[in-house]
Structure 1
């Protein structure tokens, strides 16, 4: 699971455009960009913890907008409800790409965990909405978020806390970050447990319940001339025992790595 980390210094990036949920590192890099519109292309590659899936690449176009009240950063956006000094309260929406197709998992690996792939259902991606409060100063940025399912997919919620600090190295900006995600039992049970419909077909019951997922990350932004930028990020999530014991997960997995990189042009 650590095989992406030798690439971190080459491809580390702003979550502003690529993350599945908003982040302090992404917000700080968005402010470094300091442009109203950014368009580009990006690639996200995850070292999936699901049994037999291995790498999960996701290419996608990139659109970000920074206005006085409205903003959009790749896969998330919202409205600045309150902005006072270093404090900001946002109403946000965000895509959640935690879903998977059973056909993308390994039948042999699932069988070794006691699961019959023919009796399992796909897990859908979701669309979340909620609030984000951030405090920014010379010591960096601290952000709290509360997101709930707005798509009727998992019917759960996520609470998170993140801290990020920008480091300027010449024209480049590095943003190390650390944080934690609290997954409600409905959210964790949907993506890491077995569903009622599956249990009715004879699949063994597993419910991880709520779970705390710590994570660390590193973002990078490098201007190329006046309008072009390279960016990247690397992130590692430490999976708790409740998730690692899931029969949907490879038994030797301790976490999930995610690498994102791309380029954009400002307007």
Structure 2
């Protein structure tokens, strides 16, 4: 998986960049408040803020991404991003004696295709800062005709053993009577949710999302995991500059 991703990134580096439109670029960006349930034993719900970037090309690509090949019906991109996992384990008091985790930074490559009533995207990511694990995501986003511009989606995730063991594994030195040593294998996960982008004016857009992520047994069976299904969401606004 790592070799395949490196080869893909090398190929993208040689790809020809399409001509850029002469029209002035507009930025539709903002901020959102976030809340994410912690799956860890004793972990607290994490409250924070994150930037919001509304892409108006209709491909529903998640996170920072830069297109290197696009048509009206499909787009290929490279990008970067952070793991969805909380590297602070929800500030759990009972897990503070475990080794500290670093924040993972992923390099990504993927593609998105428009369908009759939605989009489908495939994304492959490789961490370069912490666990050096890989993950792959296949997402379908539905585009119903609703006044609130609701977009439900379902995403199948594959998480490598390097990634899962980094977050939910327990080394022998960290084991206790009520926390046995545990080595996690690769795992599947299923994330479902709905996003909303409601324009309030020509420049201001209200944004929001709620989601639930259910993890496979390789994660759920870890002694430091309290819940195999966690929820998350955000609400905020974006402004077109």
Task: Return the TM-score normalized by structure 2.
Answer: 0.79
- After superposition, the C-alpha distances for 1:49-96 in whole angstroms (9 at most, x for unaligned) are 111113111123x2537699xxxx8x8323212113412111111122
1:221 to 194, 197, 213: 197
Give 1:200's aligned residue: 173
Whole-angstrom CA distance in 2 between matches of 1:99 and 1:106: 15
Is 1:257 aligned to 2:235, yes or no?
A: no
- After superposition, the C-alpha distances for 1:82-125 in whole angstroms (9 at most, x for unaligned) are 11341211111112242333681142xx5xxxxxx42x112222
Whole-angstrom CA distance in 2 between matches of 1:86 and 1:100: 37
Structure-to-structure mapping, 1:22-171, within 5 angstroms: 36-60=26-50, 62=51, 64=53, 76-101=63-88, 104-107=91-94, 117-118=96-97, 120-151=98-129, 153-170=130-147
User: What secondary structure does 1:54 align onto?
Assistant: coil
User: What secondary structure does 1:246 align onto?
Assistant: coil
Higher helix share: 1
Deviation at 1:166, TM superposition (A): 1.3
Unaligned runs of 5+ in 2: 1-24
Give 1:113's aligned residue: none
- Which range is displaced more, 181-190 or 159-168? 159-168
1:182 to 153, 158, 165: 158
Cα 1:96/1:205, change in 2 over 3 Å: same
User: What secondary structure does 1:200 align onto?
Assistant: helix
Contact residue 36 and residue 66 of structure 1 kept, 8 A: no
Contact residue 45 and residue 90 of structure 2 kept, 8 A: no
Deviation at 1:247, TM superposition (A): 1.4
Unaligned runs of 5+ in 1: 1-34, 111-116
Cα 1:66/1:240, change in 2 over 3 Å: closer
Report how many aligned residue pairs link the two structures.
211
Give 1:241's aligned residue: 217
Whole-angstrom CA distance in 2 between matches of 1:58 and 1:168: 31
Deviation at 1:150, TM superposition (A): 2.0
